[in-house]
Amino acid sequence: MKHSIPTVLTIAGTDPTGGAGIQADLKTFQEREVYGMSVVTSIVAQNTVGVQDVEHLPADFIQKQIESVLVDISPDVIKTGMIATSEMMVIIAEAIDKYSIPYVIDPVMVAKSGDHLMDVNSKQTMIDRLLPLATVVTPNIPEAEVLLSESIESVAEAEDAARRIVHELGANAAVVKGGHHVNDEAVDVLYDGAGIHRFPTARINTKHTHGTGCTYSAVIAAELAKGNSVYDAVKTAKLFITDAIRYSLKLGKGNGPTNHWGYRLQGLPKRNRRIFQ
């Protein structure tokens, strides 16, 4: 740990309704008791229904924001979310490389609403420049399919995908998340370079899953910043996101946000958590 408290920097886009992007990351860092910092890549006009518009910040201004943070409060871990263009990816890769900071990449491509958050032509830059720097990469099933140009139909194929992302694309560890499987279980699979680990939970029947991937990868970044192993960080992330989904807040007209303090309700008597169920 570099400072008096673990520190994490998120580099990502925004969600003004607070369920995904930088807003979700900062809420999660606070809940995990690490000091959160943020660099904005794109300002997104979005809500629980979908994305209405996007403004990308100039790449050199993203670089200036990163430099402002890194020369002053160097984070223990950097996490990235929405990075829309190749130009942004190169600038971010150069900074992570220059300062040798552990790195969690959530390879955000398409929101659950179906809106594209990454230029499709940037895929190769993500593979060439960002994945080799990754301590952990956390694709959902469609993202893993895009990265590997192959379809994933089962948990066994997700395990193969995680192995390939490490051995062929150069990440140190890969978690292929199971939110998009169509079955009774949400099984995340981690390959940490040594072995495969499965993290299964019962699938919760809800439409309120906006920002699950952002929140999950933010927990992993926070736990790594505390000095925990990749395995323990993923285990904590799975517990945290399951409670965040279970006690989701039923906000908005579409796919609502998760509850970033849901894990705190687990130990409460049922009468005290009724409004969340």
Ligand X SMILES: Cc1ncc(COP(=O)(O)OP(=O)(O)O)c(N)n1
Q: Is 212 in the site for ligand X (CB under 6 A)?
A: yes
Of the candidate spans 29-37, 180-188, 212-220, 246-254, the one that interacts with ligand X by CB under 6 A turns out to be 212-220
Query: With CB cut-offs between 5 and 8 Å by kind, which of ligand ADP, ligand X, none does residue 238 bind?
Result: ligand ADP
Give the integer Cα–Cα distance in Å for 238 and 217. Answer: 10
> Is 180 exposed, middle or buried (CB count within 10 Å of its CB: 0-12, 13-18, 19+)?
middle
Q: Is 209 in the site for ligand ADP (CB under 6 A)?
A: yes
Q: Is 245 in the site for ligand ADP (CB under 6 A)?
A: yes
Catalytic (active site) residue 209:
yes
Which of 209, 215, 242, 258 is flagged as catalytic? 209
Distant-in-sequence, close-in-space partners of 41: CB < 8 Å, separation ≥ 6: 11, 12, 13, 56, 57, 62, 81, 82, 83, 84, 88
Q: Determine which residue in the list 27, 56, 238, 260 makes contact with ligand ADP, applying CB under 6 A.
A: 238
55 touches 61 (CB < 8 A): no
Give the integer Cα–Cα distance in Å for 63 and 34. Answer: 23
Quick one: 29 or 35, whose CB is closer to ligand ADP?
Answer: 29
Strand partners, 268: none
Binders of ligand X among 15-34, rule CB under 6 A? 15, 20-21
Which of 177, 226, 235, 238 is flagged as catalytic? 177
Q: Is 37 in the site for ligand X (CB under 6 A)?
A: no
Q: Minimum CB separation from ligand ADP for residue 145, in Å?
A: 12
Q: Minimum CB separation from ligand ADP for residue 216, in Å?
A: 5
Q: Is 177 in the site for ligand X (CB under 6 A)?
A: no
> Is 265 exposed, middle or buried (CB count within 10 Å of its CB: 0-12, 13-18, 19+)?
middle
For residue 137, give the nearest of 41, 216, 27, 36 by alpha carbon: 216
The pairs formed by 169-172 with CB atoms below 8 angstroms and a separation of 24 or more are 169/127, 169/131, 169/132, 170/131, 170/132, 170/134, 171/105, 171/131, 171/132, 171/134, 171/136, 171/137, 172/134, 172/135, 172/136, 172/230
Catalytic (active site) residue 206:
no
Q: Is 179 in the site for ligand ADP (CB under 6 A)?
A: yes
Residue whose tokens read 């050199």: 60
Q: Is 201 in the site for ligand ADP (CB under 6 A)?
A: yes
Query: With CB cut-offs between 5 and 8 Å by kind, which of ligand X, ligand ADP, none does residue 15 bind?
Result: ligand X
Query: With CB cut-offs between 5 and 8 Å by kind, which of ligand X, ligand ADP, none does residue 20 bind?
Result: ligand X
Binders of ligand X among 117-156, rule CB under 6 A? 117
What kind and span of H or E run contains 263? none
Sign for the pseudo-dihedral over CA of 245, 11, 73, 92:
positive
User: Where along the sequence are the contacts to ligand X (CB under 6 A)?
Assistant: 12-15, 20-21, 44, 46, 81-82, 108, 111-112, 117, 209-214
User: Where along the sequence are the contacts to ligand ADP (CB under 6 A)?
Assistant: 140, 177-180, 186, 188, 201, 203-204, 209, 212-213, 216, 238, 241-242, 245
